[in-house]
Amino acid sequence: MPLQFEARKIALKQDRTGYVLTLSLHPDEIPDELLRDFVGARYACAIVKIADDESAIKYNNRVQKAGMLCRSEEFQAYISEHTGKSCDENDAANAICEACHIESRSELNGNKNAQTLFDDLIIDYENWRNNAAPF
């Protein structure tokens, strides 16, 4: 049975093994099982940010989405149709960078203009997919 509790992010740092996320839990919220587990126990985590009204806030990880799209043969076909050239994963990545006026897909993290252009590209791609022949 999964443990469920509310926590607040209070710190994020990096060490030699990766990132260290520090969460604060109210004493009434912390599950006893978590207290009894040894330091170094491994967990699979699913975290959802919540709004003041307790509803979930959706994350939009554009860098991850761009990576997944570039590996998609359907997205490569979309790029190929728009450029008139054959397209592989690398060509799709270059097309995203060109469309969003960026050097690297990682710039989709903080570049608001690139995010807007990427979102427009996704809308165009989704429209193309919806209108594409089924076979």
> Phi then psi for 95, rounded to 5 degrees?
-65, -40
Segment 86-106 shows an average pLDDT of: 95
* Beta bridge pairs of residue 20: 13
Whether the model clears a pTM of 0.75, i.e. scores above it, the answer is: no
Give the residue-averaged pLDDT of 5-9: 90
pLDDT at 58 over 60: yes
Query: Residue 131 — very low, low, confident or very high, per pLDDT cuts 50/70/90?
Result: confident
Q: At what angle do helices 112-131 and 89-100 cross, to 10 degrees?
A: 130
Work out the average pLDDT over 13-38: 92
